[in-house]
Amino acid sequence: MQAHGFRNNPVFLDYHERLIRAFGERYAGKPEIDHVDIGSVGCWGEWNTACCGSSEALCAQYLPTETNKLRITGWYFRSFPGTPLVMLVGGLKEYAASKGAGWRGDCFGDYGMFEPTWNHMVDVYEPAVQIPVVGNAWKAGPVQFEVCGVMQDWYDLGFDIDRILQKGLDWHMTVLNAKSSPVPAAWRPKVDAFLKKLGYRFVLRELTHTTEARPGGSLTLRSLWENKGVAPIYHPWPLAYRLRSNADQVVATWKSTANLMSWLPGTHEVDEVVTIPSDVPAATYALDVAILTEDALITHVELAIGGKRPDKWYPVSEVTIKN
């Protein structure tokens, strides 16, 4: 055993890297993977030594040297290109955020779960977001939290749910792990309202377009969107338009050039000029919009507007094609 523990043993590090690389080869870029936690260091992979008790000798086995922490973090970035990453607040959060990762905390809502004079919300998370690179990390990578205990514990302890949920929004949270535990009934309306602001929430405010066109001609589309959430999306999911007949036959589909990953909270205008396929029959068609998966094969994101069809496309207007 080396003086700094097995985490720094060359053999262990070699296998550690190979494991991360193997996970990357299998899962990097997969549409079913939302994000990956840089989480194979320390107790429970959470960059701490909380599981080793008071034994300094035992705790020394759980954490690599600073140099090896950097190496391990780098393995994740190399193994998961294009996949959003998050770093626990107790890890190398500044370094990871500087490379485009988001961050996470594993005791959200703690305003006195363990000690009356110390808690995670005030003494850990608040100082973290005051570091500019961490506080702005949400613009490039997701902010994820795990509840401290469960919400029922907060209720029983008399915690202020409004204060807790507002902090989540202030910190631009996208993912909340509530541990599959019921929400106290008295808090359900507040939590439901919170969920409508968590992460992204896209509303189509206006759409103006050419009302008539010819096969082979152009169609001009101008739309105004609002992200009413507190964060952008972190995957290149494309905005799309299509023309659909009264018989539900799709005669044309276009992907927008808009980069939805840049849609921070607020309004966004999109101008498009698309070409009508030359073989589209003359008729009046429904103009639908949707956000698709990265491969543009199926719809993916539900919009915060009415009219959703079973296929998650939204009819918003009509276009007439004339010969």
Q: Measured between alpha carbons, how far is 102 from 80 in angstroms, rounded to an integer?
A: 14
Q: What is the pLDDT of residue 3?
A: 41
As given in the structure block, the two tokens for residue 4 are: 């700094």
Q: What is the pLDDT of residue 50?
A: 79
Structural domain boundaries of the chain? 6-195, 202-321
The one-letter code for the residue type at 165 is L
Is the domain 202-321 a CATH 3.40.930.10 member?
no
Q: What is the pLDDT of residue 7?
A: 80
Please count the other Cβ atoms lying within 10 Å of the Cβ belonging to residue 67: 9
The pTM assigned to this predicted structure is 0.91
Q: What is the pLDDT of residue 2?
A: 40
Q: What is the pLDDT of residue 42?
A: 82
Please count the other Cβ atoms lying within 10 Å of the Cβ belonging to residue 243: 25
Distance of CA 271 to the CA centre of its chain: 26
Q: pLDDT tens string for the chain (323 positions)?
A: 344 567 888 999 999 999 999 999 999 988 889 999 998 888 888 888 777 776 666 676 778 889 999 999 999 999 999 899 999 999 999 999 999 999 999 999 999 999 999 999 999 999 999 999 999 999 999 999 999 999 999 999 999 999 999 999 999 999 999 999 999 999 999 999 999 999 999 999 999 999 999 999 999 999 999 999 999 999 999 999 999 999 999 999 999 999 999 999 999 999 999 999 999 999 999 999 999 999 888 999 999 999 999 999 999 999 999 98
Q: What is the pLDDT of residue 60?
A: 67
Q: What share of the chain is helix, strand, coil (3-state, %, to 5)?
A: 30, 25, 45
Contact call for residues 39 and 80 (beta carbons, < 8 A): no
Contact call for residues 159 and 130 (beta carbons, < 8 A): no
As given in the structure block, the two tokens for residue 40 are: 């194979």
SS3 310: coil
Q: What is the pLDDT of residue 1?
A: 34
47 sits in the region (left: phi over 0; alpha: psi -120 to 50; else beta) called left
β-strands 175-177, 218-227: how paired?
A: unpaired
Q: Measured between alpha carbons, how far is 142 from 204 in angstroms, rounded to an integer?
A: 23
Q: How many CA atoms lie within 13 A of 183 on its CB side?
A: 15
